[in-house]
Amino acid sequence: DGGITQSPKYLFRKEGQNVTLSCEQNLNHDAMYWYRQDPGQGLRLIYYSQIVNDFQKGDIAEGYSVSREKKESFPLTVTSAQKNPTAFYLCASSELMNTEAFFGQGTRLTVV
């Protein structure tokens, strides 16, 4: 089936640890995105990538890092520098920038 797969669904992290969230798509899309959602709020853009080996900071990039070494993969690392990492993280992709975007099922990260 074509789609966007995020893993894991739930993730628990101790304070001070880095953690990597996976996002894979088999839609052959060039553009990929990471968003963060806090309870009762909308989605905020963390990073986006228009094409392989290129990525740009979004509105809330501090404390996060990404890579785009393969077209189908866009992993997000939440570093220990992120002050409040507990949130719902959503990955998306689109054929090109500004075309219809599709979302994965999300990863719920909890810092314990």
Can you give the binding site for other proteins, defined by CB under 8 A? 33, 35, 37, 41-45, 48, 58-59, 88, 90, 92, 97-103, 105-106, 108
Q: Is 21 exposed, middle or buried (0-12, 13-18, 19+ CB in 10 A)?
A: buried
Number of Cβ within a 10 Å radius of residue 6: 21
Q: With respect to other proteins, which residue has the nearer C-beta, 80 or 103?
A: 103
Structure tokens at 51: 């094409």
Task: Work out how close the CB of 19 gets to other proteins at its nearest, in angstroms, rounded to a whole number.
Answer: 19
Task: Work out how close the CB of 63 gets to other proteins at its nearest, in angstroms, rounded to a whole number.
Answer: 19
Residue 6, helix vs strand vs coil: strand
Strands 54-57 and 4-7: unpaired
Q: With respect to other proteins, which residue has the nearer C-beta, 37 or 65?
A: 37
Q: With respect to other proteins, which residue has the nearer C-beta, 54 or 59?
A: 59
Task: Work out how close the CB of 47 gets to other proteins at its nearest, in angstroms, rounded to a whole number.
Answer: 9
> What are the CA-CA distances from residue 71 to residues 27, 45, 89, 90 (Å)?
10, 20, 20, 18
Task: Work out how close the CB of 83 gets to other proteins at its nearest, in angstroms, rounded to a whole number.
Answer: 22
Q: With respect to other proteins, which residue has the nearer C-beta, 43 or 80?
A: 43
